[in-house]
Amino acid sequence: MSIFDRISAHAVVPVIALDDPAAALPLADALIEGGLPVAEITFRTSAARATIEAIARARPELLVGAGTVLDEAQLDQAVDAGARFALSPGLDAAVLAHAAKRGLPFAPGIMTPTDLQAALRAGCSMVKFFPAMPAGGPSMLKNIAAPYLHTGIRFNPTGGVSMDNLADWLSLKEVAAVGGTWIATRADIAAGNWSKITANARAAVARVAEIRGNS
């Protein structure tokens, strides 16, 4: 099973901005306990590399990836820290080429058919649809993806995704998984609300099972 197949099996990827790497393992444990052993640690903070490294080393059962990877230097940091995959809000051909060179599964951000064709040319099997709700929501993605379904490309909508609209996204066969910031918010991490994060993860897992069971 490929990395992106494993992500698709979870259907929800917690998108996390961590300010203190000391919170890395409590966060990982909270997600694991909630039955959602996957996380996208964004490079929006200086703690990203240390956080990824701590989780990859001490909690290998959690599939940890890097988010908001904007350049080759960040990608190298992610790979060297042990990230299993990476995503970006946009598409940069040079970063995609470097990801391929380093052997890191990479999902660039797209919002238009032109973006999507550039991703396909670069050999991408999954892309991030970002910002998902402001860009038009599930209806927009369905229409953008329609001419490309035969390619097998899969999507990771992120930005405005919530428990309330989760079913709308996961009902689209082209959606592999969504990115969600609600699972482990910056405020809950700072406050050490690990039980709440576990509960959020468990609720997301249950909702995914319900949606997929009814599809």
Please list the helix, strand and coil fractions of the chain in percent, rounded to the nearest 5, in that order: 50, 15, 35
pLDDT tens readout for residues 157-211: 999 999 999 999 999 999 999 999 999 999 999 999 999 999 999 999 999 999 9
Say what the pTM is. 0.96
Reported as a pLDDT band with limits 50, 70 and 90, residue 110 is very high
Which pLDDT score is estimated for 214?
72
Percentage above 90 pLDDT, the chain = 98
Up-side HSE of residue 63: CA atoms within 13 Å toward CB? Answer: 21
Tell me, yes or no, whether 46 lies in a domain. yes
157 domain residue, yes or no? no
* Residue 202 in domain: yes
- Identify whether 136 is part of a domain: no
Task: Look at the chain and count its residues.
Answer: 215
137, part of any domain: no
Give the pLDDT band of residue 215 (cuts 50, 70, 90).
Answer: low
Among the listed residues 33, 72, 101, 128, the single catalytic one is 128
Q: Tell me, what CATH number does 183's domain have?
A: 3.20.20.70
Mean pLDDT across 85-98: 98
pLDDT per residue as tens digits for the range 9-63: 999 999 999 999 999 999 999 999 999 999 999 999 999 999 999 999 999 999 9
Q: Which of 40, 72, 101, 142 is catalytic?
A: 40
Active site residue 40: yes
Parent domain of 79: 3-108+162-214
In the chain, which ranges are continuous DSSP H helix? 3-10, 24-33, 48-58, 72-81, 93-102, 113-121, 137-145, 166-170, 186-191, 194-214
Residue 122 domain flag: no
- Residue 146 exposed, middle or buried by CB count within 10 Å (0-12, 13-18, 19+): exposed
Residue 32: name the closest of 14, 20, 51, 48 by CA: 14
Is residue 113 domain-resident?
no
- For residue 182, being part of any structural domain is answered with yes
Tokens of residue 157, six digits: 């909508």
The number of distinct structural domains making up the chain is 1
